[in-house]
Amino acid sequence: MSVKAYTHINVGVKGQKNNIGFIQLNRPKALNALCDGLMSEVSKAIDEFEADKDIAAIVLTGNEKAFAAGADIKEMVDNTFAQCFAGNFLSHWDRVARSVKPTIAAVNGYALGGGCELALMCDIVYAGDNAKFGQPEILIGAIPGAGGTQRLTRVIGKSRTMEMVLTGNQITAKEAESWGMVSKVFPADKVVDEAIKLGEKIANNSKLIVAICKESVNTAYETTLSQGLKSEKRYFHATFATSDRSEGMKAFVEKRAANFKDN
């Protein structure tokens, strides 16, 4: 992968095998507020990582003070309804949620508004013990516009979402963990390393089967249980058309490590 110079993010590869794509939001003076340029760069970095066959997972992080304090309020303060509607404002943020490769958010500090929504677009969220999640849009006369009334409700339920989005209250990393938004909490200075280690563990598996598995889990958020179970069965059947399924099962029977080829 060509590691290009980006303006608002740092992009690189991490992990002992250099197989983890790493995106660090880098507007520290604005608490990583998600300006249009920053989110376009995140999309571009994900495009690059997806095209790179060596990359197995992507870690997205900020700094110790802020994962991201939300969409850039200064940039949108004068937006009109007509402009937002015509340009489908914020719709391109979905690139993160559409990543074929697994995405892991490593969250320290503020994850507010669009920052919280960005974390929720990732497949797995790890948090530092100083992380604070919130949807404060109501305090500035707006509502969440990138999944905070939708993804968040599916993850933590109606009552907790309502409380967060109607008051702007922030929650701690521990609360987010106990509510299922975050899978694990670590000391703040360890969370990025732990996210990379998690990516490396995923990277030991077949990239093809990981992608199929991820798509199947995501189907659970898009459809009914019976439809989801049906499509899961088909995804499962499809693994039998791959060399990696054959290799994985043979390796088990032969008591050796599997050598996946991602096909």
Ligand X SMILES: C=C(C)C(=O)SCCNC(=O)CCNC(=O)[C@H](O)C(C)(C)COP(=O)(O)OP(=O)(O)OC[C@H]1O[C@@H](n2cnc3c(N)ncnc32)[C@H](O)[C@@H]1OP(=O)(O)O
Q: Which of 21, 62, 136, 199 binds ligand X (CB under 6 A)?
A: 136
Q: Which of 31, 38, 42, 46 binds ligand X (CB under 6 A)?
A: 31
CB of 161 to ligand X, least distance (A): 15
- Tokens for 79, please give them: 């937006």
CB of 89 to ligand X, least distance (A): 9
Closer residue to ligand X, CB minimum distance, 20 or 42: 42
Is the Cβ–Cβ distance between 14 and 59 less than 8 Å? Answer: yes
Is the Cβ–Cβ distance between 156 and 181 less than 8 Å? Answer: yes
Q: How far is CA 96 from the centre of its chain?
A: 6
Catalytic residue among 56, 66, 69, 71: 71
Q: How far is CA 218 from CA 100, 116, 128, 165, 198, in A?
A: 11, 19, 25, 24, 19
Vertex 96: Cα angle to 60 and 171 (nearest 5): 60
Residues between 40 and 69 with contacts to ligand X, criterion CB under 6 A: 69
Asked if 110 is part of the footprint of ligand X (rule: CB under 6 A), the reply reads yes
Asked if 146 is part of the footprint of ligand X (rule: CB under 6 A), the reply reads yes
Pseudo-torsion of CA 48, 31, 127, 22, nearest 10°? 20
Asked if 140 is part of the footprint of ligand X (rule: CB under 6 A), the reply reads yes
Q: Which residues pair with 13 in a beta bridge?
A: 21
| 128 counts as catalytic | no
- DSSP codes of every residue in 175-206: HHHHTTS-SEEE-GGGHHHHHHHHHHHHHTS-
Closer residue to ligand X, CB minimum distance, 15 or 148: 148
Asked if 112 is part of the footprint of ligand X (rule: CB under 6 A), the reply reads yes
Strands 132-134 and 170-172: antiparallel
Q: Which of 1, 10, 24, 30 binds ligand X (CB under 6 A)?
A: 30
Asked if 109 is part of the footprint of ligand X (rule: CB under 6 A), the reply reads no
Q: In this chain, which residue has its C-beta nearest to ligand X?
A: 113
The single residue listed with the structure tokens 């009914």 is 224
Burial code of 77-116, b = ≥16 C-beta within 10 A, e = fewer? eeeeeeeeeeeebbeebebbbebebbbbbbbbbbbbbbbb
Asked if 195 is part of the footprint of ligand X (rule: CB under 6 A), the reply reads no
Q: Which of 2, 5, 51, 74 binds ligand X (CB under 6 A)?
A: 74
Asked if 137 is part of the footprint of ligand X (rule: CB under 6 A), the reply reads yes
| 71 counts as catalytic | yes
Q: Which of 15, 62, 113, 128 binds ligand X (CB under 6 A)?
A: 113
Asked if 33 is part of the footprint of ligand X (rule: CB under 6 A), the reply reads yes
Single out the segment in contact with ligand X by CB under 6 A; choices: 110-118, 119-127, 195-203, 220-228: 110-118
CB of 115 to ligand X, least distance (A): 7
In the complex, the residues that contact ligand X under the rule CB under 6 A are 30-31, 33, 69-74, 110, 112-114, 136-137, 140, 142, 145-146
> Which amino acids are annotated catalytic?
71, 114, 117, 137
